[in-house]
């Protein structure tokens, strides 16, 4: 799993590539914590290149959402594949975390 970041106009985009599972979730957590320390007001996690997420990965995403919520930072997910969207729907996480079709849609929704 690779995590890269992009910052533009007060928006931090976290771009995931590969698989997020128990074998790399600790490293992912550390990278996300470092990235969101000075995140600004909006964070979007882009799953366009994410191929797989395990329950450990889901938990990590939920913890990120809670951390950002406690800081009053807007957070959303975008560009989920059909398979990953299904995982979020079955787990009910799509009711807890905003999910959008594209990064532009997520940013627009969070900026209001």
What's the whole-number mean pLDDT along residues 46-63? 97
pLDDT at 112: 87
pLDDT confidence bin for 55, thresholds 50/70/90? very high
Unique residue bearing structure tokens 């990590």: 60
Q: What is the pLDDT of residues 56-104, one digit of tens each?
A: 999 999 999 999 999 999 999 999 999 999 999 999 999 999 999 999 9
CATH number of the structural domain spanning residue 92: 3.30.750.24
Confidence band for 33, pLDDT divided at 50, 70 and 90: very high
Q: Report the number of distinct structural domains present in the chain.
A: 1
Write the CB contacts of 103 (distance below 8 Å, at least 6 apart in sequence). Answer: 13, 44, 46, 78, 79
Buried (b) or exposed (e) across 50-68, using 16+ Cβ within 10 A? beebbebbbebbeebbebb
For residue 88, the enclosing domain spans 2-111
pTM (two decimals): 0.94
Q: Does the pLDDT at position 42 exceed 80?
A: yes
């Amino acid at each position: 799993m690779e995590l890269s970041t992009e910052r533009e106009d007060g928006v931090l985009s976290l771009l995931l590539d590969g698989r997020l599972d128990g074998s790399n979730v600790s490293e992912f957590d550390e990278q996300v914590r470092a990235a969101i320390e000075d995140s600004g007001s909006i964070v979007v996690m882009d799953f366009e290149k994410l191929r797989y997420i395990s329950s450990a990965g889901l938990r990590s995403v939920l913890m990120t959402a809670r951390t950002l919520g406690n800081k009053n930072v807007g957070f959303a997910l975008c560009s989920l594949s059909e398979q990953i969207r299904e995982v979020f729907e079955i787990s009910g996480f799509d009711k807890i975390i905003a999910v959008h079709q594209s990064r532009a849609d997520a940013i627009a929704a969070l900026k209001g």
